[in-house]
Amino acid sequence: MALAKAIVSSRTLAKSLPLLSHLPKLSDAPPYSARTLGVIRAFSALVSPPAKAVVYEQHGPPDSVTRVIELPPVLVKENDVCIRMLAAPINPSDINSIEGVYPVRPQVPAVGGREGVGKVHLVGTAVKDLSPGDWVIPSPLSFGTWQTYIVKDQSVWQKIDNDSPMEYAATISINPPTALRMLEDFTSLEPGDSIVQNGATSMVGRCVIQIAKSRGIRSINIIRDRAGSDEAKDTLKKLGAEEVFTESQLEVKNVKSLLGDLEEPALGLNCVGGNAASLVMKFLRQGGTMVTYGGMSKKPITVSTSSFIFKDGTGSF
């Protein structure tokens, strides 16, 4: 998954942000006392730097509808925190939001991105729990992380350890929790149990492998046939995968013959759709559960009727 440092801005969005241009310049203002000038300087300091942002004003292909614009400074109110974004990822859901096909999306015009990591640049006068230099992530998830500076209420930001690798901190809010909830919420898994998933090279897939390994749960992983698949297999096995198969390797009459000493999986995870979903279902044990959390192929899920009837399978879509 590509990581992108937030380098975003927009003159269109500037209309919706607080502007300070109406404030008089000190050179044009009447004489002030030293005390008053001190107050003015203190007030002026609580303003974010100009920012850049990746924005879109209509839905469509990201490479066609997004652009980088400049945003004006924003007043930092007493409960606000100004964050300098360090890194923000490009998730599939971000792309789908820009395309307009994702059910949860901001109104346009909008700044892209929903997660990332930033450093506190400036805090409002009433903020006590955050200080300049702290690393933070938006919690809950917040639209608009693809920009260089963000000003939002302190309640939006969650402090994290600043010794975390930046790429991990930037992606901690969406993919790891997704993996954790799928392993915990749909069936009871015990050490020695097995799971199967497609899309194993995705960030969620990698998190699934590592969390499962830490709990003694063995993972069977399916990846696409493409250049570099051998290297991908090695990478996933180093993370803790028990088995990694390409889709073409599963073109056999009985995929369970490939399991060796592994238990038949109790849980299957599908983020691809199409025929890749049927491969997950074929591995499942009697009464197993398949959870669909994505559709990267943009094709309908293909699962045989017999898988549900005779295997007593359960699907969560």
Compute CA distances 129 → 7, 46, 49, 118, 161, whole Å.
27, 17, 22, 16, 14
Q: Report the pLDDT value the prediction gives residue 27, as an integer from 0 to 100.
A: 39
Residue indicated by tokens 């450093």 = 119
Backbone angles phi, psi at 314, to 5 degrees: -120, 135
For residue 120, what is the enclosing H or E element?
Answer: strand 117-123
- Spatial separation of the C-alpha atoms in residues 166 and 89, rounded to whole Å: 11
Q: Report the pLDDT value the prediction gives residue 33, as an integer from 0 to 100.
A: 52
Q: Report the pLDDT value the prediction gives residue 141, as an integer from 0 to 100.
A: 77
Sign of CA dihedral 156, 1, 109, 75: positive
Cut 0.85: pTM above it: no
Question: Residue 162 class from Cβ within 10 Å (0-12 exposed, 13-18 middle, 19+ buried)?
Answer: middle
Q: Could you read off the pLDDT tens digit of each residue along the chain, which spans 317 residues?
A: 333 333 333 333 333 333 333 333 433 444 545 454 444 444 446 999 999 999 999 999 999 999 999 999 999 999 999 999 999 999 988 999 999 988 888 899 999 999 999 999 999 999 999 999 999 999 877 789 999 999 999 999 999 999 989 999 999 999 999 999 999 999 999 999 999 999 999 999 999 999 999 999 999 999 999 999 999 999 999 999 999 999 999 987 778 888 888 999 999 999 998 889 889 998 999 989 999 998 888 788 877 777 777 776 666 65
- Cβ 130 vs Cβ 81: under 8 Å: yes
Compute CA distances 263 → 209, 260, 303, whole Å.
16, 8, 22
Q: Is it true that the peptide bond before 140 is cis, omega within 30 degrees of 0?
A: yes
Question: Residue 150 class from Cβ within 10 Å (0-12 exposed, 13-18 middle, 19+ buried)?
Answer: buried
What are the residue numbers of the active site?
Answer: 102
Q: Report the pLDDT value the prediction gives residue 100, as an integer from 0 to 100.
A: 93
- Spatial separation of the C-alpha atoms in residues 197 and 221, rounded to whole Å: 5
What domains, with CATH codes, occur in the chain?
3-170 (3.90.180.10), 175-316 (3.40.50.720)
- Spatial separation of the C-alpha atoms in residues 241 and 10, rounded to whole Å: 44
**Which tokens hold the place of 274?**
């199409």
- Interaxial angle between packed helices 203-214 and 175-185, expressed in degrees from 0 to 180 and rounded to the nearest 10: 50
Task: Give the CA diameter of the chain.
Answer: 88
Q: DSSP state, 13?
A: H
**Which tokens hold the place of 3?**
């990581």
Sign of CA dihedral 290, 102, 52, 68: positive
